[in-house]
């Protein structure tokens, strides 16, 4: 079998704050990445209506309707059907950005702002080879006092 006859490499992907799956779709676009394929193993979002749309676009991808704040890396691996030693190649996520956006209210006290910390916590727990966080440019201007861990909030 020649190199050109081999199947392209497949890379595992988990999408947090997935919504209807825009980031997942971008990674599934064959033309974007050449000779490799990204295999979405799990999408997670708190919005059940988003799942109904995502299930139409990604019928073979597991979709968990849960608050990301309540999840551990181990549970995400289990829900994605991945063993503890299986490599997670890519973790993507688009935490809520309304509190940072010029188009939004730029409400620095918005409790959803700390969802970024949950994404970073899960990067640490899951140790993916690549982590991509989608957010707005103003997030880097937020004082650290507005990004405190709060155990009594939800990340939507």
pLDDT band per the 50, 70, 90 thresholds, residue 45: very high
pLDDT for 151 equals: 47
Catalytic position from the list 36, 97, 115, 155: 97
pLDDT band per the 50, 70, 90 thresholds, residue 136: low
pLDDT band per the 50, 70, 90 thresholds, residue 134: confident
- DSSP code of residue 105: T
Distances (CA, A) of 40 to 3, 6, 129: 25, 21, 15
Is 97 one of the catalytic residues?
Answer: yes
State the average pLDDT over residues 80-88.
95
CATH code for the structural domain at 8-146: 3.40.50.150
Rounded distance, CA 37 to CA 13, Å?
A: 10
Is residue 138 pLDDT above 60, yes or no? Answer: no
List beta partners, residue 42: 14
- Note the pTM of the prediction, 2 decimals: 0.81
Q: Domain residues of the chain, as ranges?
A: 8-146
State the average pLDDT over residues 39-68.
96
State the average pLDDT over residues 117-146.
78
pLDDT band per the 50, 70, 90 thresholds, residue 64: very high
List beta partners, residue 14: 42, 91
State the average pLDDT over residues 144-153.
50
Mean pLDDT of the chain: 82
């Amino acid at each position: 079998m020649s190199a050109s006859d081999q199947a392209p490499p497949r890379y595992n992907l988990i999408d947090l704050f997935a919504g209807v799956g825009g980031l997942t779709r971008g990674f599934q676009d064959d033309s974007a990445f050449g000779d490799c394929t990204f295999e979405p193993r799990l999408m997670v979002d708190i919005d059940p209506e988003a799942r109904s749309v995502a299930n139409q676009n990604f019928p073979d991808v597991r979709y968990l309707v849960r608050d990301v704040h309540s999840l551990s890396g181990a549970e995400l691996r289990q829900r994605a059907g991945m063993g503890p030693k299986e490599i997670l190649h890519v973790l993507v996520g688009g935490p809520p950005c309304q509190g940072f956006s010029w188009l939004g209210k730029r409400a620095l006290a918005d409790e959803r702002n700390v969802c970024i910390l949950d994404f970073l916590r899960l990067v640490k727990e899951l140790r993916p080879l690549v982590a991509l966080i989608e957010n707005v440019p103003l997030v880097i201007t937020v004082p650290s006092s507005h990004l405190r861990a709060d155990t009594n909030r939800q990340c939507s």
